[in-house]
Structure 1
Amino acid sequence: MKKNISALSRRKFISKTTTATAAIALTGPSLFSAPAILKHYKKPNSLINGVQIGVITYSFRSMKDQAAEATLKYILDCGINAIELIGDPAETFAGRPDNPLNMSKMWGLMRKRRDGEITVEEGKELADMTAQQESYKKQVSQWRTTANMDKFSQFRKMYNDAGVNIYAFKPRNTFGIDNSDADIEWGMKVGKLLGASHVTVEHPGDDAHTMRLGTLAKKNGIFVGYHGHEQQTPTLWDTALAQSEHNALNLDLGHYVAAGNSKPLEIVITKHNRMQSMHLKDRQTPDNGKGNLSWGQGDTPIAQVLQLMRSNKYTFPATVELEYKVPDGSNAVEEVKKCLAFCEQALK
């Protein structure tokens, strides 16, 4: 590790967060009146000393309005100019049928199940919601066969005109083992229309499927970034990377730490040339309880990895993923601003 990479002082960060957050806050007119106003909104810049800080739009899942224009306003209010786009805002903009499920509730239950905290009654509720989701997935798959693809080009233009680049696309229920090639290629084609260099998907743990995805990605001229949770190890991606040059990493550094990997910076160093993007969150090690905490309170070396990226001129984006509990009196936008302030302080 290079000697000029040092840990960010927790106390120093806390003392400066308020000032830094205020410094990156944007001013400008409301965007809710008309999409045309987006062109006149103050353009953000979260490229900090050569390191591109982005955000996954999943971070704004708790915000009431999930429309394309509202999501763009959240991004701009945070001062961020590059994103990993969850499929919902773009697909609803293109006319996707409404989802009858409360997805925020479903995600919460899925997180509880993943963390081993789900109750019996909640498990039953999640099973019922999953069955409903399967029916909805079929409806969406049918809609995609006739969707107006020009709407995705319009979506990209709206975001680009406002100064926001879409570097990754993660449509829901598109790249799974049970999806058809038509579903998979649809997601890749939409990703390209949006300007993304890669699509992202949870690592399937199935070698035949990563081969299939890599082959289809090459055909469509795009990369697949495989995301991971606590199944991440230094060798998780090795088979997929060997199968296709279009298979890549979408490392989650916080989950990697929570999985018990003792040298989280090493995987960034050894596999940086195969990374398309990296998720950032502050999780604890297994010895400390694996908590998902406000940045600066956990065990994930966020400051150090950003300094590593700066020093070695790594060009893949570092993606803010807000997963810790939003404090009372705050909201997702304010918390993402704090995360960006943390990055700004680390990269000074």
Structure 2
Amino acid sequence: MAGLSLLPGWSNGAPAIIRNYNKPDSKINGVQIGCITYSFRSLPDQSAEATLKYVTDCGINAIELMGGPAESFAGMPESTLDRRRMYQLAGKRRSGETLTDDEAKEFASLQEQAADYAKVVAAWRAKADFQKFEQVRKMYKDAGVSIYAFKPGAFSQNNTDAEIAYGMKAAKALGASHVTLEHPSDDAHTLKLGKMGEQHKISVAYHGHEQQTFTFWDTALAQSSRNALNFDAGHYIAAGHTDIMAFLEKHHKRILSMHTKDRQSPANGKGNLPWGTGDTPIVEILQKMQQSRYKFPASIELEHQIPEGSDAIREVQKCLEYCRKALA
């Protein structure tokens, strides 16, 4: 440091260098690579602090934050619900597989537990302290990580208007430009969310699975300037579509974030595979983003089977390295 002070060419830049020393950087040649923190769901500690460490260990500097880490930091009552099992059974059913009788009973019980817990959460959200979310924002920012999207379970048809408003206010306190949720397939609800987004000055980005089509978001986009896309490139390929580049050209101004994973086409089994071994044209997509200067982040979403001897952090690191090579 003493040496730096003697070098006139360095003197003005040194403070910025010090601030950014040893901080993550996943913006690669103009393309922001991010990550949805759902990718770390297999790791035992889901606190805001642990999640931040997972993100920085991966070298990621921008994220879509799931609700759990931020809301638990803000004091939301804990649940005994086995969410991993619930996600597993829900995913099996969503993929078209038939649940066994025992699995169906288990899933129904989990849904009942979730409904009871939802009432407790709604009461807590009505009195939530938004300064806690600002503290999360600062903690992440100090570590070099920005939060571009927030995904709490607060925006479904089962949530009250007060909960929806809470979710939008929390997202703003976190510094997010948009909230994300599964597309409800309900035009009245997307209209409502879009209008509430206008009121709270935050955008609402709808995520899709294999129901995504070229025109899937058209109604919601027409309803409000605050309605947008949380596009999923992998699911789009698994749905059998071959026009993903044209899709990006059509919607890039309304895509606020894009989930990125490597899935197979229907002809090859629709599997989630390690990057570079499936049918999602990830390299071409990233290069298109780079060449066309698209502004939305590509969010790594770890969905493929974690190999024995590896873990979520190592797999996300591999995905990020894949992006670096694609954008070199």
Q: Same fold (TM over 0.5)?
A: yes
Unaligned runs of 5+ in 1: 1-38
Counterpart of 1:26 in structure 2 is: none
Q: How does 1:257-296 map to 2 (within 5 A)?
A: 257-296=237-276
Structure 1 residue aligned with 2:182: 202
Per-residue deviation, 1:116: 2.7
Q: Matched residues in 2 for 1:137 and 1:324: separation?
A: 30
What SS does the corresponding residue of 2:319 show, helix, strand or coil? helix
Q: Does 1:332 align with 2:309?
A: no
2:148 alignment counterpart: 167
- Could you say what secondary structure the match of 1:190 adopts? helix
Q: Indicate the structure (1 or 2) with the bigger Cα radius of gyration.
A: 2
Pairwise CA distance, 1:41: 8.1
For 1:185, give the aligned amino acid: A
Amino acid at match of 2:246: E
| Aligned residue type for 2:112 | A
8 Å CA contact retained: 1:167, 1:198: yes
1:243, CA displacement in angstroms? Answer: 0.6
What SS does structure 2 have at the residue aligned with 1:212? Answer: helix
How far does residue 119 in structure 1 lie from its aligned partner after superposition?
2.4
- In the aligned structure 2, how far is the partner of 1:41 from the partner of 1:116? 48
User: Which position in structure 2 is the counterpart of 1:178?
Assistant: 158
**Where does 1:103-122 land on structure 2 (aligned, <5 Å)?**
103-117=83-97, 118-122=99-103
Give the match for residue 321 of structure 1. Answer: 301
**Alpha-carbon deviation of 1:109?**
1.3
Higher-RCO chain (CA-CA 8 Å, sequence separation at least 6): 1
Q: CA RMSD in A?
A: 1.2
Letter in 1 for 2:118: K
Q: CA contact under 8 A between 1:41 and 1:162: conserved in structure 2? A: no
**1:46 partnered with 2:22:** no
- Read off the aligned partner of 1:105 and give its amino acid letter: R
Secondary structure, in 3 states, of the residue corresponding to 2:253?
A: helix
Q: Could you say what secondary structure the match of 2:44 adopts?
A: coil
1:119-134 aligned within 5 A? 119-134=100-115
Q: What is the TM-score with the length of structure 2 in the denominator?
A: 0.92
* 8 Å CA contact 2:197, 2:204 repeated in 1: yes
Worse-matched range after superposition: 137-146 or 105-114: 105-114
CA contact (8 A) 2:261 2:272 kept: yes
Q: How many residues align?
A: 309
- Identity, in percent, stands at 59
Matched, 1:152 2:128: no
- What TM-score, normalized to structure 1? 0.87
Native 8 Å contact 1:156 1:194 kept in 2: yes
Please point out which of 208, 221, 228 is paired with 1:248.
228
